[in-house]
Homo-oligomer: A and B are copies of this chain.
Amino acid sequence: MSVLRKATPERLGAFSDGVFAVLITVLVLELRPPGVPTFKALLLLWPTWVSYAVSYLFIAIVWTNHHYLMRYAGEATPRLLWFNFAHLFSMSLLPLSTAWMAVSELAPQPVAFYAAVFFLVNATYICLIWELVDRAPGGEVSPAVRKIMHFRSIATLCLFGVAAVVALKYPIIGLGICIGCLIVYLRPDPPEPEKRKSRE
């Protein structure tokens, strides 16, 4: 019975991958062939194109980090399931918020909403780190890596919050802060402590 009770995280990963796959392709459904057969007509659809490319890129970054973190999962605990649902939910708002921002041509409130969605994605990501890395048995994650992951995730969380407020006045700066935070996550694993030390 104890064997049965232990839930492997495989189906959690499969379900998450399904949700990611649907979300990453949602905006391509919005791309309609233009009525006129010219490149100009295609380029006139630029808000949809930019939305698709940007939300594809950012969902890809979220997937990469989710995939990286899930490797630490040894069991599908109820808390992990619910943190994961919250993470997927906040991510599911990305295509909408990106489209709104593009359609409104970077108006203040849509950019603030955009930053707020990333704030949510980051907050639920911190919950996943807390569940998967912090509660992992002692030797699995070195304290240095743990510390860097904490610092990075809380720093970006604060920055997304700042971006949401700043965007209400200066949307371009708010968007710039968001993009800066996302670049940090292009590599899911934090830099090795040795390299970090040598840089400091």
- A binding-site residues for B, Cβ under 8 Å: 1, 4-5, 7, 11-15, 17-26, 28-29, 31-34, 37-39, 42, 53, 56, 60, 63-64, 67-68, 70-72, 76, 78, 81-82, 85, 88-89, 92-93, 95-96, 99-100, 103-104, 107-110, 113, 139-142, 187-189
Contact = CB atoms under 8 A, between A and B. Distances in A.
Nearest to A14: B17
Contacts of A89: 53, 56
Contacts of A85: 56, 60
Contacts of A140: 1, 4
Given A21-B19, A139-B1, A37 B96 contact: no
A37 B4 contact: no
14 contacts: A1-B141, A11-B13, A11-B67, A11-B70, A12-B67, A15-B17, A19-B21, A26-B28, A33-B99, A33-B103, A37-B100, A37-B108, A42-B113, A67-B76
Contact of A81 (B5, B64, B142): B64
A175 to B, nearest CB: 14
**Most chain B CB inside 10 Å of its own CB: which residue of A20, A23, A53:** A20
In the A-B complex, the 7 residue pairs with the closest CB atoms: A18-B21, A37-B107, A33-B100, A37-B104, A15-B17, A22-B25, A60-B85
Given A18-B18, A78-B188, 11 more contacts: A4-B71, A7-B71, A11-B67, A12-B67, A14-B17, A15-B21, A25-B92, A37-B107, A37-B109, A39-B109, A56-B89
Contacts of A82: 60
Contacts of A104: 33, 37
B11 A19 contact: no
A28 to B, nearest CB: 5
Contact of A26 (B29, B33, B56, B78): B29
A7 B67 contact: yes
Nearest to A142: B1
